Structure 1
Amino acid sequence: MKIPAPRYPSPLGRAQPIPMDIERTKRDGWQNNHLLVISSSDARLDFLEQQLIERIGNRLYGSKSKGGKIG
């Protein structure tokens, strides 16, 4: 009976990153540091909430056409 030689895992296997749970990272950021990361096009927001996010973003950082606000 022929026994195959044992295969050793590639040392490159350890270099593979562990996938990040982005929603968990956002939740932890809010709960621990009060940092909010949200897209104005998030499907969980209704129309008025999306508009509010847009207005806040534009006021703090300027619209795409105007560039960012300094100061």
Structure 2
Amino acid sequence: MSIEQILGRVMRLFGRRAVNLGINKGIEVAARRGRPEAEMTPEDQAQARAARQTAKRARQAVRLARRLGK
């Protein structure tokens, strides 16, 4: 295995992690509607919690669909 292949694999690994981190942070901000947790009312916090759970279920469904597609 050449050094280019090794570097390519390592770069893909870090790139994938960075993209996933960015997506997760974006979902979190969207769930909070851009407001800090301290400024949210209990109803807003419950809605944000529900949005996070929905996003988690969506990610699980995508993972399952990807697995079934193989």
Please report the TM-score for the alignment, with normalisation by the length of structure 1.
0.29
Greater per-residue helix proportion? 2
Q: Give the structure, 1 or 2, with the largest relative contact order (CA under 8 Å, sep 6 or more).
A: 2
Larger of the two Rg values belongs to structure: 1
TM-score scaled by length of structure 2: 0.29
